[in-house]
Amino acid sequence: MAFRRAEPPRFGILLGMSLHTASLRRRLVWLPIAAVAVLAPVGCGRLATGPAPKQVIYWTGWSAEEFNTQQRLVDEFNREHPGIQVQMLSQFGNSGYQKVRIAFAGGATPDVMSTIWADELAGYAMRGVLEPLDGYLKRSGRDLERDFTPGVARMLRVNGKVYGLCATTNTSFIAYNKAIFREAGLDPDRPPTTIAELDAAARACTRYDGRGSFVRYGFRPGGLALWAYVFGGQWVDPATGRITADHPGNLAALRWLASYAKTYDLKKMQVFQSTFGSDQTANGPFFVGKVAMWSTGEWAEQFVHRYAPKLEWGWFPLPSPPGGRSNCSSAGGSVFVIPAACKNKEAAWKFLDWFTRPKPVARFCSGIGNVPPVVEAGADPAFQQSALFRFAVNLSRSRNTFGPPGTPIWPTYAREIGRVEEKVMLGGGDPVALLADLQRRMTREQLDALRDLRQ
């Protein structure tokens, strides 16, 4: 894919304007000069005591307790680096992430941000608004593939260049209720390893009442985007960048999901599921023993600990079919980037470099209950004390960990994959036709995006 730096960013997308900033900037240039002329006498006394620290504005996507955990690390960085003052601002939630887009459009970006989802990284990188980090990494003696887990490293490269670093990542696996396994006649210490065993366990654990309504169900698979990899599929050809929605592996995964729609009344299952709270409340179906197996991640531990401390539970990686990929997991989450328009790149890099080193990463991840994307950080005792985290850290190092593929349209693509899955699971749609249609539409969407980037 051809890659070029962007035109100077345009001003004021909020107003729907397309006013070029150059002339405006030329005029505004006098503003700081005038300000300095006016304020110089005031500041003279301070200048004598040495240069003021360089300010690095950092937008974080974390909030509440997670923000505080990060703030402690930022404070530590500021203490260790008297020449740099990092100021962290929380841009939380969807509106925060949308603000990033508007900031890029207006050329008014901070110096560092982690308010970018991995899903969006390729899109921003290809639009030329992110600083490539290869040179910085090299000068700091770092190596992406050596320092980071394989899935994360792959996700951070766009067209061969590194555009961001991660301080956290997640894993995907299945948690199971050992008591239900035992009651259903399954060995609680031998969870399923193949798709056939998973299906059988799901059937064995499902119970109905006299009216045919669910009393408990075994498993409701979801997330075609990830299961496709389990079945040997892929969404984008990593070598050519071509869309491969109709890959035989994707189709096999979708057919398998559809088999659940045939075996169970998924609408009824959904209604039954909605009786309970979400997976993050005390009333979540897994916590109250209404589902035997739960697609989840390492965060499950703190919820089980909080809501169902007496639950007898275990976990296992996503089972795979013959010829599929074992130990599949997903990578993703927030990515730290330096915008191309950043004026203070060296200082910004110093902070980014420091924050993504093993020690701060280990402290941040253990503080907020995430898995570290930095290989060395995984050895930290904080993760080795918990059996679940030992398992999750191992899983995150799997070669079969997949982050968002490097296409600029991934947010759209991912949403459309979800729609296809829903159509099959709840609407009885035809997997072959739906994937062929997805292939056609996404190929065109990507062509459009690439044509825009090439101009």
Partner 1 sequence: MRGRSHPFTPSPLRPGKRRASRGAQLTGLAFAAPWIIGFVVFFAYPVIASAYYSLCSFDAIRPPRFIGFENYRRMFFEDDLFWKSLWNTLYMVVAGLPVGLVASLGIALLLNRKVKGMTVYRTIYYLPSITPVVATSILWLWLLNPEMGLINIALGKMHLMQPGWLTDPAWAKAALILMGLWGAGGGMVIYLAALQDVPESLTEAAALDGAGKLQQFRHVTLPMLSPVILFNLIMGLIGSFQYFTQAYVMTSGGPQDSTMFYALHLFNRAFLDFRMGYASAMAWVLFLVTLVCALLVFKTSVRWVYYAGEGR
- How many residues at the interface with partner 1, by CB under 8 A? 41
Q: Which of 55, 259, 275, 385 binds partner 1 (CB under 8 A)?
A: 275
Q: Does 272 bind partner 1 (CB under 8 A)?
A: yes
Which contiguous run of DSSP H or E holds residue 161?
strand 161-162
Could you identify the residue written with the tokens 């004026």? 343
Q: Does 385 bind partner 1 (CB under 8 A)?
A: no
* CA atoms of 320 and 194, how far apart (whole Å): 5
Q: Which of 25, 139, 255, 267 binds partner 1 (CB under 8 A)?
A: 267
**Least distance CB 408 / partner 1 (angstroms):** 8
Q: Which of 78, 386, 412, 443 binds partner 1 (CB under 8 A)?
A: 412
Q: Does 15 bind partner 1 (CB under 8 A)?
A: yes
Tell me the window of 2-10, 71-79, 190-198, 300-308 that interacts with partner 1 (CB under 8 A): 2-10
Q: Does 453 bind partner 1 (CB under 8 A)?
A: yes
Q: Does 430 bind partner 1 (CB under 8 A)?
A: no
* CA atoms of 365 and 368, how far apart (whole Å): 5
Q: Is the CB of 97 or the CB of 355 nearer to partner 1?
A: 97
Residues 6+ apart with CB under 8 A from 74: 58, 86, 88
Q: Does 373 bind partner 1 (CB under 8 A)?
A: no
Q: Is the CB of 275 or the CB of 280 nearer to partner 1?
A: 275
Tell me the window of 326-334, 344-352, 354-362, 409-417 that interacts with partner 1 (CB under 8 A): 409-417
* CA atoms of 233 and 442, how far apart (whole Å): 16
Q: Is the CB of 253 or the CB of 449 nearer to partner 1?
A: 449
Q: From 328, 80, 311, select the one nearest 193 (Cα to Cα).
A: 328
Contacts (CB under 8 A) with partner 1, residues 116-145 = 123, 127-129
Q: Is the CB of 27 or the CB of 79 nearer to partner 1?
A: 27
Q: Which of 13, 108, 204, 450 binds partner 1 (CB under 8 A)?
A: 13
Residue 444, both tokens: 């065109």
Q: Does 311 bind partner 1 (CB under 8 A)?
A: no
Q: From 139, 171, 35, 45, select the one nearest 352 (Cα to Cα).
A: 139
**Least distance CB 276 / partner 1 (angstroms):** 9
Residue count (the chain): 455
Taking a C-beta distance cutoff of 8 angstroms, is the pair 104, 338 a contact?
no
Q: Does 426 bind partner 1 (CB under 8 A)?
A: yes
Q: Is the CB of 196 or the CB of 215 nearer to partner 1?
A: 215
Tell me the window of 62-70, 234-242, 342-350, 423-431 that interacts with partner 1 (CB under 8 A): 423-431
Spatial strand order of the sheet with 293-296 comes to 293-296, 173-177, 313-316
Q: Is the CB of 390 or the CB of 419 nearer to partner 1?
A: 419
Taking a C-beta distance cutoff of 8 angstroms, is the pair 87, 58 a contact?
yes
Q: How far, rounded to the nearest angstrom, does the alpha carbon of residue 204 sit from its chain's CA centroid?
A: 34
Tell me the window of 53-61, 80-88, 246-254, 444-452 that interacts with partner 1 (CB under 8 A): 444-452
**Least distance CB 455 / partner 1 (angstroms):** 5
Buried b (16+ CB within 10 A) or exposed e, 19-36: eebeeeeeeeeeeeeeee
Tell me the window of 80-88, 202-210, 265-273, 394-402 that interacts with partner 1 (CB under 8 A): 265-273
* CA atoms of 145 and 435, how far apart (whole Å): 33
* CA atoms of 161 and 125, how far apart (whole Å): 9
Q: Does 306 bind partner 1 (CB under 8 A)?
A: no
Contacts (CB under 8 A) with partner 1, residues 81-120 = 98, 101-102, 104-105
* CA atoms of 8 and 197, how far apart (whole Å): 56
Q: Which of 2, 16, 31, 38 binds partner 1 (CB under 8 A)?
A: 16
Q: Does 23 bind partner 1 (CB under 8 A)?
A: no
Taking a C-beta distance cutoff of 8 angstroms, is the pair 356, 166 a contact?
yes
Q: From 445, 409, 439, 361, select the one nearest 165 (Cα to Cα).
A: 361
Q: Is the CB of 242 or the CB of 454 nearer to partner 1?
A: 454
* CA atoms of 73 and 277, how far apart (whole Å): 34
Taking a C-beta distance cutoff of 8 angstroms, is the pair 190, 182 a contact?
no
Specify which residues 208 forms β-bridges with.
214
Q: How far, rounded to the nearest angstrom, does the alpha carbon of residue 40 sit from its chain's CA centroid?
A: 46
Q: Which of 54, 382, 411, 436 binds partner 1 (CB under 8 A)?
A: 411
Q: From 82, 77, 120, select the one nearest 101 (Cα to Cα).
A: 120
Residues that bind partner 1 (CB under 8 A): 6-7, 9-10, 13, 15-18, 98, 101-102, 104-105, 123, 127-129, 267, 270-272, 274-275, 409, 411-412, 415, 419, 422-423, 426-427, 441, 445, 448-449, 451-453, 455
